[in-house]
Chain A
C-alpha cells in the first residue's frame, strides 16, 4: 500500500507539474483578456528546445532558458496577431500549434539527425540539494527542481495578481478593457505581459516534460496536455490556485493510468487505460463547469482592443 501511494504521489506531481505550469500561465494570460488556445504548441516548442539547449551546451539549465525564450517568442507572435492587430485568437493559436509541430520535426532532423526521437541529453529530473534534509530528504530530492520552481511561481504570480497595483490593472484589462483604458491603463502592454507570462510558463511546462521527467524529446510527447491545461483553467474557476490544483488532479489520473498499465495481466487493453486521464478530465469538466464557475471567466476574455481591427 505504501509503495502504491508513494508511486502515485510521485507520478502525480511529475505528470501534473507540466500541466500546472502551463495552466497557471494560461490563466494569467486569460485574466488580462488574452485567450491562448495554442498551449499545446508552446509546450511542444518548450519541450523540444529544452532538449536542444541541453544537447548543445551540455547544461540542462540552458535548455530551460531556451524553452522560456521560445515560449516568450511565440507569445509575442500571438500577441502581435491578437492584441496589436485584433486577429482571432483561436486562429492564431492553431497556427502556432501547427508551426511548432513542424519546427519540432524539422528541428529533430537538423539538430540530432534523427526522426521521431532526439538523442538522450543531460536532464534535471532530481534535486540532489534536498537530499541532505533528514527523513524526507531522499523523497523530496526525487523531484525535478522545476517542480519546486512551479510552486514558487504560483505563489509569486498569485501575489502579483491580487496584491499589487499592476495585478489589479491586469485584471481590469481582462474584465473591461475600455474602462481600463479610460482609467489610464496601457491595456495592450498589460496584455502583452500576460500573454508573455503564459508563453514562458507554457515553454517551461514543455521543458518539465522533456528534461524534467525524461531525458529526451519525442514527437507527440505532449499528447494533448496543452488542451488539458486549458481545461484546468476553467475547472479551477480562473484562479491561479484553482488552475494549479486542477492540473494536479489531471496529473493524478495520468499517474493512475500509468500504474494500472504496470499491473500484470490486467484484463482491460492498455489503449483503454491510456484514455483514462482524458475521459476523466472530460467528465470532471462537465460536472465541474457549473454556470457559476463559468461566470467567473474574465468578462472581456478573447475580446480584442486594437486600433488596427477597429475594436478600440
Chain B
C-alpha cells in the first residue's frame, strides 16, 4: 500500500533578491510518519528549502502541496497552524525567559488578561514526560545546556501540536553522547506518529535514524533513496559529486637540511597558571607537522606566541634563522609566516566586508594593492579577487557580497586563499576544518598538501585525530603545556596518540612500552 504523501514539492525554486539561486526545480515528497533526511554540503540550499516549507521564505516559483492541497503558507504562524514545526539550527530561544515561558510563548495558557503559569507548567510537564524530554521549567534558558535547549525547542514544537517536525542540523552542536540521545528521541517521535524531516550533513546519524534520504547538491535534488539502498560512502559521493579522499593526496619527497621554524624551550604562564612548560620542536621545508592534543593543553598559547600575539616568559622562536620572539604580528606575517586562525568569524574575516576586501586584510599595504604607495588600487584588488575566487573555487555570486553571506566552507577557502596568496614560507593553521563538511574538508586538506609540496612548511593544530593522521608527515602531541611525543607519521595508531594526549604514556616510557 502506498503511504500518504504529506508534503509534495513540485519544481520549487528560490532566487534571492541579490541573484543567488539557492534552490532550483526541487521536486520530492515526504510520506506521513517517516523520517526523511535531506543531506547536502554546507551551502547546498538545504536550510533555504526548509525555511521555504516553514514559511520564512516564499518560493520564487513552483508549488508545495500539503496533504494533497496547495500549501498556503506565508508566515511561520501559518505553518504552525497547519501542523508544521521547525527546530532551527540556531535555536529560537529567548535567553532571558524561563524554559516554560519559551515553550508557551505565542500559545499561552489562560485568558487574554492573564497567563495561567500554574496550569501551563502542569501541561508542559505532562507533555515533556510523555515524550521523555527532561526539562527544568523554571530555569532561565541562558543557564541551561545546549542539549536541554534543544529539548526545549522540540517541546515548543510539540506544544503547538506539530505533526511534521523539521530539524535543521540538529546534531551540529551536540556531543557524541547527546547525539545518541537525540537519535533515540527522533525514533520515539516517529513511533508516536510524527513525520520528521531531518537536515544534516553528518551521515552517521542520517543512516541511523532515516527511512528515506534526499540528496541535494548546489541547490538541486540529486536523488531520493531508501536508507537500505545506500551506505555512508555512497551518500558522501552523491553529496559531493565525486569520490572523497581525505588527506590531501600525494606528497612529494622534499629533502632539506634547513629548518623553517625552531621553537626552543618556550614557557608561558597566565594568571599564575603555567600554560607552556618548555616547548621545543622544529619544522622543515616540505613538511606538515600536526599538533594533536586535548583542547586546552597549551595549543592556544603556543599559536599566539608563534604568530606574535603573545610574548613568552622564556624561550625563543626562530623563523628562517631569525629570532622572531620579539616581533609584532605584522612583522612576522611580512617575513612569511601566515596564520589561519581557529575562529574564522572572529579572527579570520570581517563578516560585513565584501569578499574582495577580506582578501586583502592584513596584506592591504602590499605594493600590489596600492596606487602611488598610498591609495587602494581597486583594479588590482578586484583582479586579484577574481583570480583567487577561480583558483580556490569560492562559490559566491560576486566578490562584492559580504563575507557573512557565504557558507562556512567557502569562508574558510577565502581565508586560506588570502593567507597563501603571497606564498608564505610557513603556514600555521588551527583547526582548519572545524565545522566544514566532507567536500570542504577534502579541499582544505588538498590545499595544505599543495602548499607543503611547494617546499613550504605547514604547522597544523587540530583536535581531530583522524585529520592529524591523514594529513601530517610528523605528529607532535601536546599535553599539559609540553610536547610529549614527536613521531613520524608511520604505523602510528589512533590509540597510541590518544594515550599520549591523555598523558597515559609519557615520552620516557615510550620505548619500554614498545618492547
Contact = CB atoms under 8 A, between A and B. Distances in A.
Interface of A: 163-166, 168-169, 171-172, 175-176, 178-186, 299, 310
26 contacts: A164-B112, A164-B114, A165-B110, A165-B112, A169-B106, A172-B105, A175-B97, A176-B93, A176-B94, A178-B92, A179-B94, A181-B75, A182-B56, A182-B92, A183-B80, A183-B107, A183-B156, A184-B75, A184-B76, A184-B77, A184-B81, A185-B106, A186-B77, A299-B94, A299-B95, A299-B96
B253 interface: no
Given A172-B106, A183-B76, A310-B17, 5 more contacts: A172-B94, A175-B97, A182-B88, A184-B106, A184-B160
B29 interface: no
B319 to A, nearest CB: 40
A161 B54 CA distance: 29
B292 to A, nearest CB: 38
B108 interface: yes
The secondary structure that dominates the B interface is loop
A56 B406 CA distance: 61
B472 interface: no
Nearest to A162: B115
Contacts of A165: 108, 110, 112, 115
B106 A164 contact: no
Contacts of B97: 168, 171-172, 175
Ranked nearest first, the 8 interchain pairs of A and B with the lowest CB-CB distance are A184-B77, A183-B106, A179-B92, A165-B108, A175-B94, A184-B106, A182-B76, A182-B92
Contacts of B88: 182
Q: Of residues A164, A165, A172, A185, which shows the largest number of chain B Cβ atoms within 10 Å of its Cβ? A: A165
Interface in B95-118: 95-97, 101, 105-108, 110, 112-115
A35 B355 CA distance: 32
Contacts of A183: 76, 80, 92, 105-107, 156
B114 A168 contact: no
A49 to B, nearest CB: 32
B106 A180 contact: yes
Contact of B105 (A163, A180, A186, A299): A180
Interface string B146-166: 000000000010001000000
A288 to B, nearest CB: 20
A178 B57 CA distance: 13
Nearest to B85: A182
B86 interface: yes
Contacts of A166: 112
Contacts of A299: 94-96
A8 B42 CA distance: 66
Contacts of B112: 164-166
Contact of A184 (B93, B107, B110, B115): B107
Contacts of A176: 92-95
A163 B107 contact: no
Nearest to B80: A184
Contacts of A164: 112-115
Q: Of residues A169, A176, A183, A186, which shows the largest number of chain B Cβ atoms within 10 Å of its Cβ? A: A183
Nearest to A300: B94
Contacts of B106: 169, 172, 180, 183-185
Q: Of residues A171, A175, A179, A299, which shows the largest number of chain B Cβ atoms within 10 Å of its Cβ? A: A179
Nearest to A176: B94
A186 to B, nearest CB: 8
A168 B77 contact: no
Nearest to A312: B56
A308 B96 CA distance: 28
A175 B96 contact: yes
A168 B86 contact: no
Nearest to A299: B95
Nearest to B111: A165
A32 B485 CA distance: 57
B94 A169 contact: no
A179 B108 contact: no
Contacts of B93: 176, 179
B53 to A, nearest CB: 13
Contacts of A175: 94-97
B338 to A, nearest CB: 35
A180 B107 CA distance: 11
Interface string B65-80: 0000000000111001
A84 to B, nearest CB: 16
Contacts of B96: 175, 299
Contacts of B156: 183
A185 B75 CA distance: 10
B17 A163 contact: no
Contacts of B101: 168
Nearest to A173: B94
A163 B77 CA distance: 23
A168 B115 contact: yes
A182 B113 contact: no
A182 B162 CA distance: 13
B105 A169 contact: yes
A88 to B, nearest CB: 15
A163 B112 CA distance: 10
A80 B470 CA distance: 57
A231 to B, nearest CB: 22
A171 B115 CA distance: 14
A175 B91 CA distance: 13
Contacts of B105: 168-169, 172, 179-180, 183, 185
Contacts of B94: 171-172, 175-176, 179-180, 299
B114 to A, nearest CB: 5
B113 A181 contact: no
A27 to B, nearest CB: 15
A86 to B, nearest CB: 14
Nearest to B96: A175
A186 B75 CA distance: 9
Contacts of B86: 182
B14 to A, nearest CB: 15
A168 B108 CA distance: 9
Contacts of B76: 181-184
B115 A163 contact: yes
Contacts of A169: 105-106
Contacts of B110: 165
Nearest to A183: B106
A282 B81 CA distance: 50
A166 B156 CA distance: 18
Contacts of B17: 310
Contacts of A182: 54, 56, 76, 86, 88, 92
A181 B76 CA distance: 7
B160 to A, nearest CB: 8
A8 to B, nearest CB: 37
Nearest to B105: A183
B217 to A, nearest CB: 27
A307 to B, nearest CB: 10
